[in-house]
Amino acid sequence: MARDLLPSIGALVAFESAARHLSFSRAAAELHLTQGAISRQVRELETRLGLPLFERISQRVFLTDAGEAYRLEVARILAGLSAATERTMASAGGAEVLNLAVLPTFAARWLVPRLPLFLVDHPQATVNFTVRNEPFAFADSPLDAAIHFGEPTWPGAVCEFLCIEEIYPVAAPAVRDRFDLANIAAIVGAPLLHQSSRPTAWADWFAAEGLPAIGAYRGSRFDQFSMIAEAAVAGLGVALMPRFMIETEIASGRLVLLTDRPLDAGKAYWFVFPEARVRSRLVRSFGDWLKAEAATPPLPLAPLE
């Protein structure tokens, strides 16, 4: 690396702020500097790069094409540097930090309520959550591990099994009674709630129950299971939900299971971490705890009425 080519952090921060605001005066106010100081930093940066980053038209500033491309890179680098600094500060005093990519509903409904159990045994640990719905390159991120749903395929990473997903049809008691859903076949005539990323779920359930698939695709669609759960509680229809996501609603009676026969979704949840982190004590401890929690049998299902 030719370090003599690297501009100062001050110049990069001044440029990024001016480029984001398209205003040297706003950048000066944001950074508590004078407008002249911002102009000088940007001018020195342009001199170092050998090309203009801004063009000035009618007393306004605009980014050149090179300036826009450089802005994107500088913003990414500054954000990464800021995050790395925060992570390092968080580890002061012997603290251990785990940066975990999670699926939002899994985290909110299953992981977070159980996390205090892990922290009791690891009081120096801090777990940071970042939402990632799809696999990503660990090498290009500050994340240490991830919760993944699907197949155990993730380049350059280790996938450890957590649990199979079993889903049940559920509804609010009023919806069950209104559509006489004690007869499972009556679901055919009830409003259905769908998860957008699993468009065939109801058709698969109908097929497993030997019911006609007509109407299996009708009904409202939602991006997140948490939204579907709330919609079901509100009485908008019948939902297909992983049981672990609705334990609280089942226990409180706000939702009822319409059958005790689950549908195996054919996919599983996995704890994933890069091969380079295989010797990390915190990653291993968290993974072992996750697997133990996932293997704990859930509470028995209440008898269906």
Output the domain CATH number for residue 259: 3.40.190.290
Domain count of the chain? Answer: 2
Tokens of 293: 């929690």
Nearest Cα to Cα of residue 270 among 195, 164, 197: 164
Torsion of CA 41, 43, 46, 47, to 10 degrees: -110
Q: How far, in Å, CA of 203 to CA of 37, rounded?
A: 64
- Quick one: 164 and 251 in the same domain? yes
* Same domain as 129, residue 83: no
Domain end call among 90, 107, 138 = 90
In this structure, the answer to whether residues 301 and 284 fall within a common structural domain is yes
Per-residue b or e along 163-202, where b marks 16 or more CB atoms closer than 10 Å to that residue's CB? bebebbbbbbeebbeebebeeeeebbebbbbbbeeeeebb
Q: Does 103 lie in the same domain as 57? A: no
| pLDDT at residue 301 in the model | 45
**Both 226 and 103 in a single domain?**
yes
Per-residue pLDDT, 305: 44
Residue that terminates a domain, selected from 90, 124, 158? 90
For residue 272, the tally of other CB atoms under 10 A from its CB is: 22
Q: Are 61 and 91 contacting, i.e. CB atoms less than 8 angstroms apart?
A: no
169 and 82 together in one domain: no
Among 213, 271, 217, 265, which Cα is nearest to 244's? 265
User: Residue 48 is part of which domain span?
Assistant: 3-90
- Residues 241, 246, 247, 249, Cα dihedral to 10°: -130
Task: Tell me the C-alpha distance between 172 and 229, whole Å.
Answer: 10
- Quote the pTM value: 0.67
Q: Are residues 123 and 255 in the same domain?
A: yes
223 shares its domain with 300: yes
Rounded to whole angstroms, the Cα distance separating 177 from 168 reads 18
Question: Residue 36 is part of a domain; what is its CATH number?
Answer: 1.10.10.10
Same domain, 78 and 214: no
Q: How far apart are CA 155 and CA 139, in angstroms?
A: 11
Per-residue pLDDT in tens (0 to 9) along the chain, 305 residues: 456 678 899 999 999 999 999 999 999 999 999 999 999 999 999 999 999 999 988 888 999 999 999 999 999 888 888 877 776 766 655 568 899 999 988 998 899 999 999 999 999 898 999 999 889 999 888 899 999 999 999 999 999 999 988 899 999 999 999 999 989 889 999 999 999 988 999 999 999 888 888 889 999 999 888 899 999 999 999 999 998 889 889 999 999 999 988 887 778 999 999 998 888 999 999 999 999 999 886 654 443 44
Q: Could you tell me if 114 and 56 lie in one domain?
A: no
78, 41: one domain:
yes
For residues 240 and 202, the answer to whether their CB atoms sit within 8 Å is yes
Q: Decide which of 68, 90, 112 is a domain's last residue.
A: 90
- Tokens (6 digits) for 221: 């669609």
Both 233 and 263 in one domain: the answer is yes
